[in-house]
Structure 1
Amino acid sequence: MRRRVVVTGIGAVCPLGNDVATTWQNLLAGRSGVDFIRDFPVDKLRSDIAASVKGFDVGKYLSPKEADIYGRVTHLSLAAAVEALREAGIASIQRAPAADDEAAEGAAAQGDGGIDRTRIGCLMSTGMGSVEIFEEQIARSAARGPRAVSPYFIPGVMPNGAAALIAMRYGLMGPSYNLASACATGTHSIATSALMIEAGEADVMVAGGAEAATRLNTVAGFGNAKALARAVDGDPTRASRPFDRRRQGFVMGEGAGALVLEEEQHARARGAKPLAFVTGFGMTTDAEHLTRPHSSGLGLALSLERALARAGVAPEAIGYINPHATSTPQGDAAEVLALRRVFGERLARIPISATKSMIGHLLGGAGAVETIAVVCSLRDQLLHPSINVDELDPDCPLDVVRERRSVELRHAVKCSAGFGGHNCSLVLERA
């Protein structure tokens, strides 16, 4: 039998809150985290709105010097991981003094309750890395010459900085690196971590994704590609509207989500409480276009089919779908075709709610924070709404959850897609 994977901790920092509890309550209440951009001039941009993290205090997690070295995406990643590891009951691991080198090595490898830290890894990923550090250092070099570039430029900007920092903070010596697949990054990190646990490469993985790329040039790039939404009737909170007839594009967002995944018997042996099971995952590629989804949604559909097959669950068993749902005309339409291919006519009766309608698109962090929303749904038997669905697109005949809904839910699906044609789907089960 395959090793079963459970979720034992979750952590989030996003436009609706700097922890999971606050985020989840705001999601259930249907609140939006989208607002006008105030951090840089927007008069020449095609979009002037974004969903930003508010009131985040990096000083709770890093010294001033550390905070200066690492970029914002790493700050948010660490905060989410700290919350997830605390809930999982895995506290900071310190090297214990010992009489000889062999004893010291053995002591160092042990964590709380005798946990072997060489069997704990970290795939806390980002699609774009520390964009602001890259911008600042290039500008410094252009203005003052190459010798003005910080010696911390490379370690500060590298996308694997968050995974390295979390591993160092907690003494995690298992597999640890960054996985980048654009908007599917967070979901891919969860799926790959689950695969590592199933394969016996690790007993515990910190898995998730983050992004903090709302900068002048990134907003300009997405805007010039005509991918971004603008405020609707002057209201930024109404801009992100997946599956609505008036949808016009996605809203840039920032944030981080982290999950502690663990082999079931390992978790139970140390008394950890499972929040949910990760029972299936599927990973595919469209192999068709760099930025546009497959016109029929084929790649995403294949990832869903593989996730269901791996979980040993029929499509009829799925009681909730948390879709990618970016609010772009082409993306939402292709996703509906993919879902219809897998679930057939029953799709119209499966509850669906789009987390991005409230938090915007967190890019590399989207799949992780949205998976956490699914875990909360399974735990509490509640579905959060999709907001801004004023008129459902006739080409999207879905059971879109408009208000907080109580359910009896056992199996749920989370799917993600990213530039490059990367697709990843998860099947999660109530613990």
Structure 2
Amino acid sequence: MRRRVVVTGIGAVCPLGNDVATTWQNLLAGRSGVDYIRDFPVDRLRSDIAASVKAFDVGRYLSPKEAEIYGRVTHFSLAAAVEALREAGIVPIERAPAADDEAVRAGARAQGAPPLAAAPASGLDRTRIGCLMSTGMGSVEIFEEQVARSAARGPRAVSPYFIPGVMPNGAAALISMRYGLMGPSYNLASACATGTHSIATSALMIEAGEADVMVAGGAEAATRLNTVAGFGNAKALAKAVDGDPARASRPFDRRRQGFVMGEGAGALVLEEEQHALARGAKPLAIMAGFGMTTDAEHLTRPHSGGLGLALAVERALARAGTAPEAIGYINPHATSTPQGDAAEVLALRRVFGERLARIPISATKSMIGHLLGGAGAVETIAVVCSLRDQLLHPSINVDELDPECSLDVVRERRAVDLRHAVKCSAGFGGHNCALVLERA
């Protein structure tokens, strides 16, 4: 028998809040985090809207020097991980600093920031705790800034912290150093499936006995001039609807036109069930199954019939030992693109048949936009909250359901008796991942 995996902590930073409680309440209320872009000129871009993180205080987590070294995506990742680890009861304890850390530590103490490094709570084996906190694109702003600096002043002007600051595995490394985690730790990158893949792979590691606890999730902070230009020139982005940015992200709606760039991070603490119970941790949900597949058909377009994603969902159900008839809620990938949403409906119809029309579905992206590498993680947290509270958040902006999408789209907050739920993700490159979560 496989070791059973449970969720014991969750943490989030996203356009609707800088913690899980705020985010979840805003999701239940149907609020949108989408607004006009104000951080750079947009007059020559094809889209001028995004879903940005607001009022985030990096000083709560890093000293000024650390904050300068690491990019925004790493800032969000650390904050989400800190919240998740605290809820899980894995409490940071400062350990003796190395000599070369003292200057940075002194600055952190002066600013009231947490210690640079810490160890897990007493009694936990840190060699059995790992971290797959991933990003699809890394610290885009650092790369842009250092290339511009080199072009303007020459290569000797490039920061010596350029490489450690820009590397995608920086968040996993920082979290591991902060908490002294010596288990498996690295970055996965599968575009928009990154966060979900990190969760599935972490669960696999625990099942296989490679770790007892994993910090798993994803993050992105790539809303920059060139990335918005790139997605916009590919005609993938939405624009404000009738002058209102909040109405732009509209999965499954007949007038959907593209996705909205978003940013943020989601982190989950996954743990072997008996390990969690032995230390008195209360599971929030059970990570019952997962499935990972590839379309192997096109670099950016999903399989026209949804075959790859359907196989991922089928494999997740099989691994969980759960029949399709037992699924009471689906949190879809649902980017709000015409092709993507249509292909996903076909994929889900392959698995659930005519019953799909009676399974409640709500798209988190309708309110927070598309967090790219962080999307699957934050959306999985929404599923955990649904299982915990027996509530479903709405899918906003579905003014007229696409006739090709015969779905039970949740339009208002809904109370449910929910035991099993599915989370789907898909990414450029044809990467698919699906999770089955169960009520604890």
What is the TM-score of this pair, normalised by structure 2? Answer: 0.94
| Offset, 1:199 | 0.1
| Offset, 1:235 | 0.1
| Offset, 1:101 | 21
Listed as ranges, the matches of 1:303-342 within 5 Å are: 303-342=312-351
Secondary structure in 2 aligned to 1:296?
A: coil
CA contact (8 A) 1:97 1:104 kept: no
CA contact (8 A) 1:126 1:178 kept: yes
Deviations 1:313-356 (A, max 9, x none): 00000000000000000000000000000000000000000000
In the other structure, the counterpart of 2:118 is none
CA contact (8 A) 1:98 1:107 kept: no
2: CA distance, partners of 1:214 / 1:110: 28
| Offset, 1:80 | 0.2
2:384 to 375, 382, 385: 375
Secondary structure in 1 aligned to 2:111?
A: coil
1: CA distance, partners of 2:22 / 2:108: 38
Deviations 1:58-95 (A, max 9, x none): 00000000000000000000000000000000011444
Task: Return 5+ residue gaps in structure 1 as ranges.
Answer: none
| Offset, 1:109 | 29
Deviations 1:343-373 (A, max 9, x none): 0000000000000000000000000000000
Secondary structure in 2 aligned to 1:114?
A: coil
2: CA distance, partners of 1:100 / 1:252: 39
1: CA distance, partners of 2:272 / 2:103: 27
What is the TM-score of this pair, normalised by structure 1? Answer: 0.96
CA contact (8 A) 1:98 1:104 kept: no
Q: 1:145 to 1:388 in 2, by over 3 A?
A: same
CA contact (8 A) 2:63 2:111 kept: no
Q: 1:108 to 1:413 in 2, by over 3 A?
A: farther
Deviations 1:158-209 (A, max 9, x none): 0000000000000000000000000000000000000000000000000000
Aligned residues between the structures: 430
Deviations 1:95-131 (A, max 9, x none): 47999999999999999x4100000000000000000
Q: 1:110 to 1:338 in 2, by over 3 A?
A: farther
In the other structure, the counterpart of 2:369 is 360
CA contact (8 A) 1:410 1:430 kept: yes
In the other structure, the counterpart of 2:438 is 429
Secondary structure in 2 aligned to 1:55?
A: coil
Deviations 1:245-277 (A, max 9, x none): 000000000000000000000000000000000
Structural RMSD (CA): 4.1
2: CA distance, partners of 1:327 / 1:210: 20
Q: 1:38 to 1:268 in 2, by over 3 A?
A: same
Q: 1:146 to 1:97 in 2, by over 3 A?
A: closer
2: CA distance, partners of 1:188 / 1:200: 18
Task: Give me the identity figure in percent.
Answer: 93
1: CA distance, partners of 2:230 / 2:132: 28
2: CA distance, partners of 1:378 / 1:275: 8
CA contact (8 A) 2:11 2:19 kept: yes
1: CA distance, partners of 2:186 / 2:233: 32
Secondary structure in 1 aligned to 2:236?
A: coil
2:161 to 149, 152, 155: 152
Task: Return 5+ residue gaps in structure 2 as ranges.
Answer: 113-121
